[in-house]
Amino acid sequence: MEKPAIYVETSVLSYLVARRSRDLVVAAHQQVTVEWWRTQRQNYDLFISQIVIDEARKGEPEMAAKRMAVIEDLSLLEINEDVTHLADSLVASRAVPKKAAADAIHISVACVGGVDYLLTCNCKHIANAKMRDAIERTCRSAGYTTPIICTPEELED
């Protein structure tokens, strides 16, 4: 039986390798992400894109190296013309704000790549219930099925 496919957005990697936050809520999300990675990831085929690689390389060199080590064996989904067109549509339709254009690319890669889930810890512009209808409507009007957008907390067996 084929495993469900997940596009892993960069915020998951950041939560996974970050030093524990002093903020209790953030620390709890970090812990859930670490536990999900340890116990659940083997149940899925995991994918990233070049934008994940580019974002993971940024920042403090030690943390960037840890993020890069986590993704070294993950499969790559292509950022092609279809992806950039859908990302432009997401921004143009205001489903995703212009300032979050990179988030529109993550959503588009997952849609065009046909994965089952988009796993994210970004609840501002991706896993946001207020934005979900507009995101899905824009993707559907472009001929794509939006993957289930969720956080590690929502994707447990």
Residue 38 tokens, joined: 């340890």
Q: Which domains occur in the chain, in start order?
A: 5-154 (3.40.50.1010)
For residue 136, the one-letter residue type is E
pLDDT of res. 125: 87
Q: What is the mean pLDDT of the chain?
A: 94
HSE-up of 13 (CA within 13 Å, CB side)?
Answer: 28
pLDDT of res. 1: 61
For residue 63, the one-letter residue type is M
Model confidence over 130-153: pLDDT tens digits?
999 999 999 999 999 999 999 999
Contact 135, 25 (CB under 8 A): no
For residue 49, the one-letter residue type is S
Which residues are paired to 148 by β-bridges? 117
Which residue ranges in the chain fall short of pLDDT 50?
Answer: none
- The predicted model scores a pTM of 0.94
Q: CB count, 10 Å around CB of 75?
A: 13
Residue length of the chain = 157
